[in-house]
Chains A and B, each alone.
Chain A
Amino acid sequence: MSSLEIIATVLGGLTIGSALMVVLSPHPVRSVLYLILTFFLISGNYILMNAQFIAVVNIIVYAGAIMVLFLFVLMLLNLSKDNEPKSSIKMKIAATFAGGALLTVLIAALKDSVILPKTEMLENQQGMVENLGQLLFTKYVLPFEMSSILFIAAMVGAVLLAKREKQIIE
């Protein structure tokens, strides 16, 4: 096995472990931290595949902005281990079964699928910023502009929703 394979395997295993800790950790703050770790590991995977732009954007947007948002809300609501709601054992068993079943079924469905042969590539360039930028601004320029409208809607929505409505409280 080449070094790349070993790195890829280790990274994969760590990602799975980290994601599992997100789900199983009783502290909500620790869950958030584990999720940040997961994102970093996934970015590591991206770099392995030379998708540099995506890797960086992943860290900046997801780990940097969204997770910070989550953390803020967590701390705002002052949640800790004590007032963390617990689900019933029945639910845990059922969920485990469901999740396991989903996993099994998906892998069974995908294992026999025909995979087209990979493209021979000695230069893995499409993850580079220039190439991605070119695609983004020529072929996918419309979704790109649309996403700005999406953000405006999200911003307006967030502000509106989080505003304190004085009339109702009093």
Chain B
Amino acid sequence: MILASIFESGVSIQFYIVLSTILFAIGVLGVLIRKNAIIVLMCVEIMLNAVNLLMVAFSTYFGNGDAQVFVFFIMVVAAAEATIGLSILVLLYRNNRSVDIGLFNKLKG
């Protein structure tokens, strides 16, 4: 399907900048507020996706496909990171019987 760029029809780039920033801030909020380790990891994914969104927006704005390739790689890395993160989480659960990150304070002092 051949579509004209969305920016031809009036949507400004600032809209996507603000949207992406708000999503990022929500991700940060989630990381800070939630104490369930799994939810924290998910909020990290939100942050990554916010960045993806902005990148694709700019790619469409400038007509340059490189940014989308970068998005692709960000997804690759996010997948690998989620995998490893969850494995570690499972191990933590095995040792501590809980995923409350407030209990993992062995680095204290």
Contacts and interface: CB of A to CB of B under 8 A. Distances in A.
Contacts of A140: 66, 69, 73
Interface residues of A, number: 89
Given A4-B9, A31-B42, A87-B35, A124 B29 contact: no
B91 A57 contact: no
Interface residues of B, number: 79
A64 B81 CA distance: 16
A92 B83 CA distance: 28
B109 interface: no
A99 B32 contact: yes
Contact of A154 (B22, B71, B73, B84): B84
Interface in B1-53: 1-11, 13-15, 17-19, 21-30, 32-36, 38-39, 41-43, 45-46, 49, 52-53
Given A8-B11, A23-B43, A110-B21, A119 B63 contact: yes
A167 to B, nearest CB: 14
Contact of B38 (A5, A48, A70): A70
Interface in A62-107: 62, 65-66, 69-70, 73-74, 76-77, 79, 83-87, 91-92, 94-96, 98-100, 102-103, 106-107
B91 A161 contact: yes
Nearest to B56: A51
Interface in A1-26: 1-2, 4-5, 8-9, 12, 15-16, 19-20, 22-23
Nearest to B7: A118
B33 A23 contact: yes
Interface string B60-81: 1111111011011101111111
Interface of A: 1-2, 4-5, 8-9, 12, 15-16, 19-20, 22-23, 28, 31-32, 35, 38-39, 42, 45-46, 48-51, 53-54, 57-58, 61-62, 65-66, 69-70, 73-74, 76-77, 79, 83-87, 91-92, 94-96, 98-100, 102-103, 106-107, 110-111, 115-116, 118-127, 131-132, 135-136, 139-140, 143, 147, 150-151, 153-155, 157-158, 161-162
6 contacts: A16-B23, A28-B38, A35-B45, A45-B56, A123-B2, A136-B72
Q: Which 10 A-B pairs have the closest CB atoms?
A: A95-B32, A154-B80, A99-B29, A23-B30, A85-B100, A126-B65, A161-B87, A103-B25, A85-B35, A119-B63
